[in-house]
Copies of this chain bind each other. A is one copy, B any other.
């Protein structure tokens, strides 16, 4: 706890006056009025980052999919449901922020058609046709007035290879690689352990509580952001 308080004191100057946007949680893609496709993201990591960034002095907008978490103090939460909603909210926030952290587990696909009425079960089998959702972090990173853009890679295999590829392909400034196959960390767990990659380096943060990890991540992101600014 002392270490946390020291980190928080140290952080308290780092992001003073910086506007930071974080996406968090899962998205839900409607199949019909009753059913949806979602994922196991709890939102804990994104909320912890929002809280740590506010502790570091930033003005924080938290664009959140459906979670059961309380909004951290001094954070402006914008509630969304689907990936399309989240994309629109991100585009609206983007012009006003200097740092964008895409921590949400956005659904890659959504049902091609959302049925207006609950679909009746009639056949022994059924298929759902899916179409790609907008790629939010790519849209942010490829914008002419792009903020410093940080992505997340949640994978169950070949984590660092996918993460490095995503960093380059999406033109990100940093990427946080998260092994979600390990159930003691990642989705819904209280602990996490990550490797952070940027074009010229990387850093591994060992397993610890998500709040403590968030403080370290925000410090690292702030350092890279500030050195890119100067």
Residue A227 lies at the interface, judged by CB distance under 8 Å to chain B? no
Q: Is the CB of B33 within 8 A of A181?
A: yes
Q: Assembly of this chain: how many copies?
A: 2
Number of A residues contacting the other chain (C-beta, 8 Å)?
35
Inter-chain CA distance A166–B9, complex, in Å, is 63
Residues of B within 8 A of A40 (CB): 34, 36
Contacts of A34 in B (CB 8 A): 39-40, 105, 154, 156, 180, 187
Q: Is A205 an interface residue (CB 8 A)?
A: no
CA A124 to CA B135, docked complex, whole Å: 12
> Which chain B residues lie closer than 8 Å to A68 at the CB level?
68
**Which residue of chain B is the closest to A34 with respect to CB atoms?**
B39
Residues on A lying within 8 angstroms of B by beta carbon are 31, 33-40, 68, 105, 107-109, 112, 117-118, 121, 123-132, 154-157, 180-181, 187
